[in-house]
Amino acid sequence: MRKFETSVQELKNDVLRSVAELAWEDRLTTGILDVPEQIIPGPEAKMRCCIYKERAIVSQRVKMALGGDSAYPGMTEVLEIACDECPVTQIEVGPACRGCIATRCVHTCPKEAITIVNHKATIDHSKCIACGKCISVCPYGAIEKKQRPCERNCIPGAISMGENKKASIDVNKCVSCGVCTFQCPFGAIMDKSYITDAVKLLKGAERWDFRVYAVLAPSIAGQFAPASYGQVVTGLKQLGFHDVQEVALGADMTAKAESEELLEKGKLLSSCCPAFVDFVEKNYPDLAQYISHTPSPMVMIGKRIKEKDPKARVIFIGPCVAKKKEFQLGKTMGAIDCSLTFEELAALFESKDIDVEKLEAAQLDEASGFGRNFAHSGGVAAAVAQGMKERGITEEQFKLHSVACSGLAQCKVELMKFAKGIGGVNFLEGMACEGGCVQGPAVLIRSPRNQADVEKHAKEAGERTILGAVEAEEQESVKK
């Protein structure tokens, strides 16, 4: 299996694996307090000032592995004891300052926070409001804003510095994109985990007479390399899953339905990415009317499985933090019972000593290449266009003008243009993660290779069409 991208992921994996092992053995109550000392045995600290602080941080991670704060509706939480190494966000004057006599910085400051002391600009931080006007006028670029990575990369502006100098997440602005979880260099922000819920479902299947299905997001292609896609499927069955299905097949269903909806309504925003949908609803409420009513591929495949098997319980496995929120929303109609990430799946395999590289590969070949390509930016728009083409819709009947947004920063720009009718776009594909799901916050490793792996997997679908994949699934259901 590929190595993790960071040491933060390795620590997270150690915690998730340990918690999962206890859950399998029904020892959570008796063994959970021993996890921090097992992971940080000492006597010397490896990453922090002392082993006691390292163990305290692991304790907070254990809490998140158990579902986090149940009273807090957000999917990401700040581990406060781990959030103490970043500089306080503020405007600072660097050594490039020449003490020029123009003093544009002094004259542009709306709070009179800048003065010249010993021929150098000096900022009174008790007055500074970090507006950044001085940065833009300094001819030497000597003034810069020191900003925490989590805050700088949070496009919705949900992260700020709290009174205690710790990162603080505004749940009313947060869209659960999960960017902060991998942008924080100290691992001080973590997504809630439902790994113990997954173990309970798998263990309880026989006792309570239900069957647990895994639905795999197409971005899993290559994530467990050198293990193949088919070997991961076999590994899931060894974990106790009754069956495994492709979310890409749900993507085919979504593409078929969304192309029909677009033809009917004339103008749409995609609904596949829950973080994008949340971003629109919270920041552009006037545009919410354009959000497609077609369920996401995850919901589509979950609903289909439960229609075929009333005893089904469905666990989604993907690279996404926002899916952990989506599956709990009322509009998903109970299609999904639990959501896990690729990071959590890796921990589950380790908790049962399953080496997927040594397993025989199972067959899982249901979706079209267009459904599988939903995983990267532009894939949804391409599939909707293909859906129209397969239904015989010509350009004379409907001229599709789509744009694919890669990351919330681009989504923000395109949504403003969409609102004003600039460009004549009638289908806007929104992906909260830059590059799409292939670069989701909970992938095992973030690499340009991820998109290449998905495209290779898509090509393996051969000439199968979107309608062909959907119709084949419907015919198979009739036979059963």
Tell me, what's the pLDDT at 479?
A: 57
Tokens of 324: 């952990």
**CB under 8 Å to 338, separation ≥6 — which residues?**
194, 197, 198, 201, 313, 314, 315, 316, 327
Question: What sign for the dihedral angle of Cα 70, 71, 73, 77?
Answer: negative
DSSP-based helix, strand, coil % in the chain, nearest 5: 45, 15, 40
What are the tokens at 449? 């290779």
Strand 114-117, strand 120-123: pairing: antiparallel
Q: What is the model's pLDDT at position 89?
A: 67
183, 54 contact by CB (below 8 A): no
Beta bridge partners of 116: 121
Residues 6+ positions from 135 with CB-CB distance below 8 Å: 91, 143, 144, 145
Helix axes 342-351, 229-239, angle to 10 degrees: 60
Residue type at 142 in one-letter notation = A
CA 81 to chain centre: 24
Q: Going residue by residue through the chain (480 aa), what tens digit of pLDDT does each one get?
A: 457 889 999 999 999 999 999 999 999 999 999 999 999 999 999 889 999 999 999 999 999 999 999 999 999 999 999 998 787 768 999 999 999 999 999 999 999 999 999 999 999 988 998 889 999 999 999 999 888 999 999 999 999 987 788 899 999 999 999 999 999 999 999 999 999 999 999 999 989 999 999 999 999 999 999 999 999 999 999 999 999 999 999 999 999 999 999 999 999 999 999 999 999 999 999 999 999 999 999 999 999 999 999 999 999 999 999 999 999 999 998 999 999 999 999 999 999 999 999 999 999 989 999 999 999 999 999 999 999 999 999 988 999 999 999 999 999 999 999 999 999 999 999 999 999 999 999 999 988 899 999 999 999 999 999 999 999 988 776 555
CB atoms within 10 A of CB 39: 17
Q: Where are the alpha helices (DSSP H) in 352-448?
A: 369-372, 379-390, 408-420
Cα distance between residue 192 and residue 170, in whole Å: 16
| Residue 233 near residue 362, CB atoms below 8 Å | yes
- Quote the crossing angle between the two packed helices 247-265 and 379-390, to the nearest 10°: 70
Q: Which two tokens stand for residue 120?
A: 């150098």
Write down the pTM of the prediction. 0.92
Q: How far apart are CA 455 and CA 370, in angstroms?
A: 10
Strand 211-216 and strand 90-93: the pairing is unpaired
Residue 410 DSSP label = H
For residues 377 and 94, what is the distance between their CA atoms, to the nearest angstrom? 39
CA distance linking residue 214 with residue 219, whole number of Å: 14
Angle between helices 7-24 and 342-351 (to 10 degrees): 50
Cβ-contact 81, 99 below 8 angstroms: no
Bridge partners, 314 (sequence order): 213
Amino acid at 339: S
Neighbours of 151 (CB within 10 A): 19
Q: What contacts 313, CB < 8 A, 6 or more positions away? A: 201, 205, 210, 211, 212, 213, 337, 338
Nearest to 195, CA basis, from 9, 56, 341: 341
Amino acid making up residue 457: H
Cis peptide before 226 (omega within 30 of 0): yes
**CA dihedral over 213, 216, 217, 223, signed as positive or negative:** positive
Count the Cβ atoms, other than its own, within 10 Å of residue 2: 16
pLDDT of residue 161: 83
Between strands 268-269 and 427-431, the pairing is: parallel
Give the Cα separation of 96 and 105 in Å (integer).
14
Cis ω for the linkage preceding 43 (within 30 of 0): yes
